Amino acid sequence: MNTNDQIREAFAELAARAPVPDRVAAGIAGRSRAIRQRRLLLGAGGAVAAAAALGVPALFLWPGTPSTVDELLSPVRWRGYPMPFTPSWLPDGFNITQRRVTTGRPGPQRREWHLNPLHLHPRVQLELKLGGPSPWPSASTVDINGTPGWVSHSKYSASCSWQPFEGIEMRVSVAGEPDEPDTDRGAQFAETVVRIARSTGVGHVEYLRPTMSFGWLPGQVPLRLAFERHDRPDGSGEMASAFISGESRRVIFAGVFDRLDDSIRLEEAQKTTLRGRPAWYVPPDPQTETQGPGTFVVELADGRWLFAATDPAEGGPVVTKDDLSRIVETCRLD
Amino acid sequence: MPRGKHSSDVTFDEYLSHRLAALLRYATVVTCDPHLAEDVVQEVLARAQLRWQKISRLDMPEAYLKRMVLNEFLSWRRRRSAMHVPLAREPDAPDPAEAISSRDALLRQIAMLPPQQRAVLALGFYEGMTDAEIATFLDCSESTVRSHRSRALSTLRMVQEVGR
């Protein structure tokens, strides 16, 4: 058999692995709707168009309708982790600054948008949590696309939670400048969070593909792993984080960023070599840090900076300087 | 295409019921990745559905769709230059024979070819197109088609010889 015949046979074999037509056909109508919606958003005037252009990520739709939390949150091989219930409306001018997904198994997710990424406020935050709804006692009820929701507000913030899917609670919150004197924008913010919540849908998905992950971690306690993407003018990059399982406390983290955080002062650090690259060990500052082992920083060949540090917590793992060095050496980068 | 119907009479749903499987096989061959093929075909057909009236009036709507599939795939390649190309069978479907392993090895090599070279091979060896047809399809000259194929075959032969 010559190469040409072998190639024909190989292609025939590959064609036999084609996806099932029924499943593909089932997803086409949904995608058409999404494409129509994208066109409408881009074509519309005012706040919706601005939101679509500036802050709201492109939407995708599933091939089918997920029926379990596992199906809803499991990664798609080449796209990454789905982040469902993406809003198709945000107030004017908000840009996405952070996305976080739990990796390895279904878990919490978080996204943040800022009007000015260099300022903490105003901020829109969208969280996905596993479990049933947990509204504030003082919250009032609203309808979110046929599902009960709960909205509450203070002078400078508002939040709305609802259960759009069995086993999932979504919460969107808006926070303004807390130091604005004599203002009460709570009612306005409450309208905003409800509008954002109503603009989400189960099929409104964006994907986050982890581009870095831990290779080795100390194994004393179970940890929940997460991947984050940060998009900020003062430094964009990716982070792998380990949380105390079931808690929101990040205890170990490693990141690759295009800029080094201003707070890390290499001139006072000890020079070393990690991953075959110039590296620095920044000892813990007794004035500002707890009992952590400090920070390691590596200058990568592509000009980015890899760093790793810990945030010790009660019940969390004890991480030594050697452990942290091993974490840096074994981090997997795409 | 259903017999006895001109393409412009065929509704989008009729087209899907008759030709979707073939389009998916084509996309799988072009992309070398069934998962990516599914996504590419779905995206292309979702767009095509919105202007099906125009597409169905073309002389060869299927050729148009196949070109959309190829363009979508190539744009994916451009967007994700370091894309993972999974070709291994699923773990619960072991290779029934040694021959399949060697075909998989060949497919892996094909998957690593530059996308234009791979497209030329797929259109020629799977779709049975002539050089002239491929050139029209890819909007390039016949000599470019020959050049792509020659380089692709040379790479594959070289890899096979090294592997022996």
> Between these two residues, A206 and B74, which has the higher pLDDT value?
A206
Sign, CA dihedral A102-A107-A108-A112, equals positive
Do A111 and A176 lie in one domain? The reply is yes
> Between these two residues, A78 and A103, which has the higher pLDDT value?
A103
Nearest to A35 among B32, B50, B82 (CB): B50
The residue of A13, A28, A211 whose CB has the most chain B CBs within 10 angstroms, and thus the best one to mutate to test that interface, is A28
pLDDT at site A212: 93
Residue A29 belongs to a domain: yes
Query: Could you say which DSSP state residue A28 is in?
Result: H
Nearest to B24 among A6, A13, A19 (CB): A19
Q: How many CB pairs (< 8 A) connect A and B?
A: 106
Q: Which two tokens stand for residue A138?
A: 């003082």
Q: How far apart are the first and last CA of chain B?
A: 44
B44 lies within 8 A of chain A by CB: no
- Tens-digit pLDDT profile for residues A37-85: 544 432 233 333 333 333 344 455 555 567 889 988 988 877 889 999 9
Contact present, A244 and A221 (Cβ < 8 Å): yes
Do A128 and A247 lie in one domain? The reply is no
Residue A9 belongs to a domain: no
Q: Is the pLDDT of residue A202 over 80?
A: no
CATH, residue A53: 3.40.1000
State the Cα–Cα distance between residues A83 and A205, nearest whole angstrom: 5
Average pLDDT of the residues of chain A: 81
Do A141 and A109 lie in one domain? The reply is yes
What is A113-167 written as a DSSP string? EESSTTSS-SEEEEEEEESS----TTPEEEEETTEEEEEEE-SSEEEEEEEEETT
Do A174 and A33 lie in one domain? The reply is yes
Q: Which two tokens stand for residue B116?
A: 């234009």
Query: What percent of chain A stands above pLDDT 70?
Result: 83
Chain B residues 106-135 within an 8 A CB cutoff of chain A:
106-107, 110, 121-122, 125-126
Contact present, B37 and A19 (Cβ < 8 Å): yes
Q: Do A25 and B83 touch (CB under 8 A)?
A: no
State the Cα–Cα distance between residues A165 and A72, nearest whole angstrom: 9
Band of pLDDT at residue A196, cut at 50, 70 and 90: very high
Contact present, A114 and A122 (Cβ < 8 Å): yes
pLDDT at site A154: 83
Q: Which of A238, A269, A267, A242 is nearest to A255 (CA)?
A: A238
Residue A5 belongs to a domain: no
Q: Do B20 and A32 touch (CB under 8 A)?
A: no
Element of type H or E holding A250: strand A250-257
Contact present, B156 and B146 (Cβ < 8 Å): no
State the Cα–Cα distance between residues B138 and B124, nearest whole angstrom: 12
Q: Do A18 and B84 touch (CB under 8 A)?
A: no
Q: How far is CA B50 from the centre of its chain?
A: 23
Query: Mean pLDDT throughout A124-129?
Result: 93
State the Cα–Cα distance between residues A27 and A84, nearest whole angstrom: 16
Q: Do A18 and B47 touch (CB under 8 A)?
A: no
State the Cα–Cα distance between residues A4 and A86, nearest whole angstrom: 48
B100 lies within 8 A of chain A by CB: yes
Domain boundary among A207, A225, A249: A207
A1 lies within 8 A of chain B by CB: no
Do A49 and A148 lie in one domain? The reply is yes
Q: Do B106 and A334 touch (CB under 8 A)?
A: no
Do A95 and A203 lie in one domain? The reply is yes
Nearest to B126 among A15, A23, A77 (CB): A15
Range of the domain at A183: 21-207
Query: Mean pLDDT throughout A96-100?
Result: 92
A23 lies within 8 A of chain B by CB: yes
- At residue B62, φ and ψ (nearest 5 deg) are -65, -40
Q: Which of B42, B77, B118, B135 is nearest to A32 (CA)?
A: B42
**Pairing verdict, β A212-213 and A206-208:** unpaired
Q: Is the pLDDT of residue A174 over 50?
A: yes
State the Cα–Cα distance between residues B12 and A334, nearest whole angstrom: 41
A40 lies within 8 A of chain B by CB: no
Q: Do A27 and B42 touch (CB under 8 A)?
A: yes
**Which residues of chain B lie closer than 8 angstroms to A76, CB-CB?**
35
The one-letter code for the residue type at B58 is: L
Entry field: residues in chain A: 334
pLDDT at site A53: 34
Contact present, A254 and A311 (Cβ < 8 Å): no
- Tens-digit pLDDT profile for residues A227-263: 999 888 777 899 999 988 666 778 899 999 888 876 6
- At residue B90, φ and ψ (nearest 5 deg) are -65, 150
- Please report, for residues A148, A238, A258, A298, the alpha-carbon distance to residue A301 in angstroms, rounded to integers and kept in the order given: 51, 16, 12, 9
A101: which strand partners? A109, A227
Query: Given the structure tokens 């990454």, which residue do they identify?
Result: A80
Do A53 and A104 lie in one domain? The reply is yes
State the Cα–Cα distance between residues A238 and A207, nearest whole angstrom: 14
- Overall number of domains in chain A: 2
Nearest chain A residue to B160 by CA: give it: A3
Chain A residues 70-89 within an 8 A CB cutoff of chain B:
76-79
Q: Do B21 and A6 touch (CB under 8 A)?
A: no
Do A62 and A183 lie in one domain? The reply is yes
- At residue A202, φ and ψ (nearest 5 deg) are -60, -35
Domain boundary among A207, A226, A247: A207
Do A37 and A123 lie in one domain? The reply is yes
A118 lies within 8 A of chain B by CB: no
Distance from CA of B72 to the nearest CA of A (A): 15
Nearest to A7 among B33, B37, B125 (CB): B125
Band of pLDDT at residue A190, cut at 50, 70 and 90: very high
The one-letter code for the residue type at A30 is: G
Do A183 and A246 lie in one domain? The reply is no
Residue A8 belongs to a domain: no
Q: Is the pLDDT of residue A167 over 60?
A: yes
- Tens-digit pLDDT profile for residues A138-160: 789 999 988 999 999 887 788 99
* Domains, in order of start, for chain B: 1-83 (1.10.1740), 96-164 (1.10.10.10)
Domain boundary among A155, A183, A207: A207
The one-letter code for the residue type at A107 is: G
Q: Which two tokens stand for residue B21?
A: 């499987």
Distance from CA of B71 to the nearest CA of A (A): 18
Q: Do A77 and B35 touch (CB under 8 A)?
A: yes
pLDDT at site A143: 94
Sign, CA dihedral B2-B6-B7-B13, equals negative
The residue of B23, B35, B38 whose CB has the most chain A CBs within 10 angstroms, and thus the best one to mutate to test that interface, is B38
Nearest chain B residue to A211 by CA: give it: B82
Do A73 and A194 lie in one domain? The reply is yes
State the Cα–Cα distance between residues A157 and A167, nearest whole angstrom: 26
Q: Which residues of chain B have pLDDT under 50?
A: 1-4, 78-100
B34 lies within 8 A of chain A by CB: yes
Residue A94 belongs to a domain: yes
**Which residues of chain B lie closer than 8 angstroms to A3, CB-CB?**
153, 156-157, 160
Q: Under 8 Å CB-to-CB from A35, ≥6 apart: which residues?
A: B46, B47, B50
Q: How far is CA A69 from the centre of its chain?
A: 17
Residue A130 belongs to a domain: yes
> Between these two residues, A30 and A200, which has the higher pLDDT value?
A200
B31 lies within 8 A of chain A by CB: no
Residue A12 belongs to a domain: no
Do A222 and A146 lie in one domain? The reply is no
